[in-house]
Structure 1
């Protein structure tokens, strides 16, 4: 049986796994190849402000570990100067495992160094007790590695979930929707898989993904806010590219922001909380009661709206209106360069995103974007936690 982890309090401004910036020189080189590859060593030196000798040595180590590869030089005038062999990310040799734990199911995926999904599986929980979920995850991770990862070296495992997640301790401190408290899941998975394991909250994980390879990565590496809306609602925010954790790794808890006119009972026992008003559980329950969907998930509601159901569209629009009000408040608080909304309707349809934008004050609606990963949000979240670790210190 998994023993509850001891709670700790630490300073939020100290570096923790997943929070550090890629200051490691090898990480800086690898990140330059990710951003600009195929790229010559001389261009990497200019981009990273490292010496040519340092870049050459680090590139050699990254090549040896098969994190990058040399690619054919672009055709140019023959016989002029020394040839520059470009470098690019090696998409074939290594991978990471991404795990996401949602209220109804788990997602386990294999991703390459560009965050592309190579394989994934989703399974409903047999039992939501931590011991049962962890045991099932260990089986599914082993099966995924056997079926799809045998020819790749797996570098790390990343896990994302809702609630209060202490990434420095590898612990889910509190997840009311699952009924979890002080679950040391990081240590349990590391012991079973033999891999470095990093965990984080949904929103912080997805903001890391946006910073690594999102459609607005440049803005995400400046100041950014990401609002995650699923069965759990939470927020991540960054300044200068650094994602804030808080002194207890609890930053971003917005589930209980007050919402006017909401009579849904929250897990905290009160009514009028944001999470209770906009959670997928509530949305799906309403759609089932109206006979709008056959399968109990938000994808069915989105599909019904896309097929012309006015009732399904109205459900998504009302949810987007409430999400937009929360997003407007967050934008006023943080004034970010970009605000991402990772919400099922806005991720897949243009109208809910426009409804969210319509709640913003004049002049800032253009800073609001849907997730860059609409087809694989959950798998990407878990994978990004591992990839952030890889790109920070790859050697």
Structure 2
């Protein structure tokens, strides 16, 4: 886009835009394209600028309950490489140390001589991004784990930390659905169930960084046999729809599966029992979605759940539940959407934390960027 267009869209003066572009060009964050003119060669020629995705990368680590995903992303939000390793143990020193040890090999194999600017780390439950600390993650057994300081010391990189729901909400703002930039709710359904809220263009954290704890919303399936939850609320969302509960129900139904990915593959292959389990999940997630839509009235609610992203009947069932239960959402076909990153959610979450920090302050003191006076 031309500098004049940037000035018009941002409200900055042309001189300010030219000055900022000069710094960004000097740092290699943007580049100039070939000079263009208007239709039929009319109009004043201009030199468009765009994000330079060929010089730098951000790295990311997503720490799930059973495994960790390490990935690299360019500045346009494209995943360059990813690898996943199961946890032998969930001791934070071992998990974080293993991520730091594997990162240089991933960069050497896929970095193509590009510089890594920062490392982002994301996980579920309660994360304090200002302190860089995982405050509490019950399934991992983590409490007050100083993720930022441990990874920064081990890698030598600037490290940014956040919850995976907030990270994915930021990714949607930067490179996902256009409708999520100003007002959105993101509902994450995996081994952990949580959410993120976007209002007036900002991802809400709360004064204790605890915003997004929706795991224990009562959704009351009414079909019995669900696992109990530490919250003590019968039929809470996490007890009904989490990945471990899905696997448990599959085994009870006679399916020979031992993991959630195996159950998902059976559903995608057309197994009727597996698909019914995902349809049940979709309906229960739809109940929670209806509550969140009525509480926050966002422009869009993004559902991060593989059934909604990959099985059309599940998304339809989820939207139907919203249509039946929500008082304010009269257009679920457009206001309830699957994640923009279905198939690469975990690989996106970690680097999105670092990419968001870069986009928030690209003119700041990033150590790997050249200084421009």
Equivalent residue number for residue 232 of structure 1: 192
- Tell me by how many angstroms 1:267 deviates: 4.2
Q: Would you say the 8 A contact 1:302–1:348 is kept in 2?
A: no
TM normalised by structure 2 equals 0.90
Between 1 and 2, higher relative CO (CA 8 Å, sep ≥ 6) is seen in 1
48, 71, 74: which one aligns with 1:109: 71
- Tell me by how many angstroms 1:303 deviates: 2.7
Q: How big is each residue's C-alpha offset from its partner over 1:79-110, in whole Å with a ceiling of 9 and x where there is no partner? A: 86653111111111011011100001000100
* Aligned positions of 1:254-269 closer than 5 A: 254-260=214-220, 261=222, 263-268=226-231
TM normalised by structure 1 equals 0.85
Say what the alpha-carbon RMSD is for the aligned residues: 1.9
Q: How big is each residue's C-alpha offset from its partner over 1:225-257, in whole Å with a ceiling of 9 and x where there is no partner? A: 010000000011121111111111001111122
- Tell me by how many angstroms 1:149 deviates: 2.2
1:281 equivalenced with 2:244 (yes/no) = yes
Partners in 2 of 1:369 and 1:77 — Cα distance? 37
Equivalent residue number for residue 96 of structure 2: 134
* Aligned positions of 1:317-332 closer than 5 A: 317-332=279-294
* Aligned positions of 1:107-256 closer than 5 A: 107-149=69-111, 151-214=113-176, 216-217=177-178, 219-256=179-216
Q: How big is each residue's C-alpha offset from its partner over 1:262-287, in whole Å with a ceiling of 9 and x where there is no partner? A: 53122446653211211011112333
Pair 1:185–1:81, CA change in 2 (3 A)? same
Partners in 2 of 1:302 and 1:328 — Cα distance? 25
Specify every segment of 5 or more residues in structure 2 that has no aligned partner in the other structure, as ranges: 325-329, 364-373
Partners in 2 of 1:129 and 1:291 — Cα distance? 34
- Tell me by how many angstroms 1:180 deviates: 0.7
Pair 1:85–1:322, CA change in 2 (3 A)? same
What count of residue pairs does the alignment treat as equivalent?
Answer: 354
Equivalent residue number for residue 331 of structure 2: 364
Specify every segment of 5 or more residues in structure 1 that has no aligned partner in the other structure, as ranges: 1-38
45, 54, 75: which one aligns with 1:83: 45
Equivalent residue number for residue 34 of structure 1: none
Runs of 4+ in 1 over 4 A off after TM superposition: 75-82, 267-271, 288-291
Partners in 2 of 1:75 and 1:90 — Cα distance? 22
Q: Would you say the 8 A contact 1:321–1:359 is kept in 2?
A: yes
Which stretch shows the higher mean deviation, 260-269 or 49-58?
260-269
Equivalent residue number for residue 367 of structure 2: none
333, 340, 344: which one aligns with 1:376: 344
